[in-house]
Amino acid sequence: MTIDSSIALDRTRFFIDGVWTEPKGTETHLALEAATEKPLGRAALGSDADIDAAVRAARRALDEGPWGRTTAAERAATMRRFAEALAARAADTATLVSRENGMPIGLSNAFNGDAPAGLLTMYADQIEAAQLEEVRPSASGSTVVRRAPVGVVAAITPWNYPQVLAMMKIAPALAAGCTVVLKPSPETALDGYVFADAAAEAGLPPGVLNVVVAGREAGAALVSHPLVDKVAFTGSTAAGRTIGAECGRLIRRCTLELGGKSAAIVLDDADLDTFVAGLDNACFQNNGQTCTVQSRILAPRSRYAEVVDAVAQYAREMVLGDPLDPAVTCGPMASKAQLDRVLGYLELGRASDARLVAGGGRPAALSRGWFVEPTVFADVDNRERIAQEEIFGPVVTITPYADEDDAVRLANDSEYGLGGSVWTADEDRGLALARRVRTGTIGLNYYLQDLGAPFGGMKGSGVGRELGPEALDSYLEFQSVYASAAQL
């Protein structure tokens, strides 16, 4: 397939050791625009040898280069320059991501445009205020308790929120004094190098941040590389299990932010106008390609028909189309493979005893692009695959419950535990119920991530936490230096 050279966004080299480096292999990925299926550009895909070069550059920057000797204040200053360089590119970056993965532009402006620079600034502030050494009295004199960088971090990121999910790893790692090898997903290969462009402009020392787009095999080489000290991964639960097992074998630290199949619990006193107003963020965000979406709606039998009608009407009124159009509320799936996956689940839903009340296929008016109709299945048994497996598209199920205990049982009847929400006129009642749901995050009458609070999952949704000051600790090691009383 040919690419118009006047608009091509090719990225044929990797960013390793502070310079643009020719790939050691010949494999490439052709990026297609999600809404049009037209070529955007071509990106080189890294081999094991490219990964090895990036990891060794990160190790040198940590052990031999200036980064390993920086103060917290020096790192913070570098991070703020990095943030300024990213902020200057924010609008273009957001547009590029929307073209790559179909994210509605308003959401992309927030998460791929503004959030990365904001996270760098937040962690720059945190590391400057952190107490990295503390002297404690001991029976033998004193102990100096240090918080030192973990070391070389392998950051492996997905395609659905590529910029913010990468920065959720890069920012605390850099603040802690670590060096990073970033492996973005091939599906959003082109925007990953925005980090490299900005890092070079900001003057990050060579090797501190290395960017190599690669597939699964090279990703596995990164996870198991002997010079990597920590793996930070966001992606599927299946891949997370493999990575977690390898890190366990190597006695290597890891943070795993994995899949979700979260529940939105509508209580009998809920205000439906509030619920409907929150459906975009809670249940359909980013065309359903969000790990925290509450794609299982649990409704009380006393108001079940009312809830079904409201959700179905909302889905029917969503505007499908070009994600760069601010009026569009549902863009395409990120790839043909993802479209086929979602359509497969729609077939499963139609073959079950569930009742299709909205959507259910591809929109007739959009012949190009990987679009699927926002879809609602009612009367869904919680044991059905469409209620248990992560679909990652604009598809929700609605299941009735008898009472609060039954709602909690259904919400917890899942291998996942990442997001969730409770909708009620009585916030104290909602808070009490929220405490009973086994999930890492849950909202009361809305769902919107707080970048200043810890984020992560329970059960099959992951291990460890990102965001908030808690994330910084996962990139620091404790060291105790036994000294004399003279240190007190």
CB within 8 A of 352, min separation 6: which ones?
Answer: 377, 380, 381, 384, 385, 386
- The CA-to-CA distance between both ends of the chain, in Å, stands at 69
Contact between 198 and 167 (Cβ < 8 Å): no
Question: Please, what is the angle between helix 162-176 and helix 115-129, to 10°?
Answer: 20
- Residue 174 CB neighbours (<10 A): 30
Token readout for 247 is: 């890190």
CA angle 129, 133, 134 (to 5 degrees): 110
Helix (H, G, I), strand (E, B) or coil at 257: strand
What is the rounded CA–CA span in Å between residue 314 and residue 267? 19
CB within 8 A of 11, min separation 6: which ones?
Answer: 41, 42, 43, 44, 189, 190, 192, 193, 213
What is the rounded CA–CA span in Å between residue 331 and residue 430? 32
CA angle 103, 109, 111 (to 5 degrees): 75
CA-CA distances (angstroms) from residue 402 to 100, 303, 310, 473? 43, 11, 20, 42
Q: Report strand pairing: 28-32 vs 39-44.
A: antiparallel
What is the rounded CA–CA span in Å between residue 89 and residue 244? 35
Token readout for 484 is: 């004399």
Q: What is the DSSP string of 367-426?
A: -SSS----EEEES--TTSHHHHS---SSEEEEEEESSHHHHHHHHHSSS--S--EEE-S-
Q: Report strand pairing: 179-183 vs 209-211.
A: parallel
Q: How many residues does the chain have?
A: 488
What is the rounded CA–CA span in Å between residue 324 and residue 103? 8
Phi, psi of 481 (to 5 degrees): -105, 115
Contact between 480 and 145 (Cβ < 8 Å): yes
What is the rounded CA–CA span in Å between residue 266 and residue 443? 12
Helix (H, G, I), strand (E, B) or coil at 155: strand
Active site residues: 257
Q: What is the DSSP string of 2-15?
A: ---TTT---B-SEE
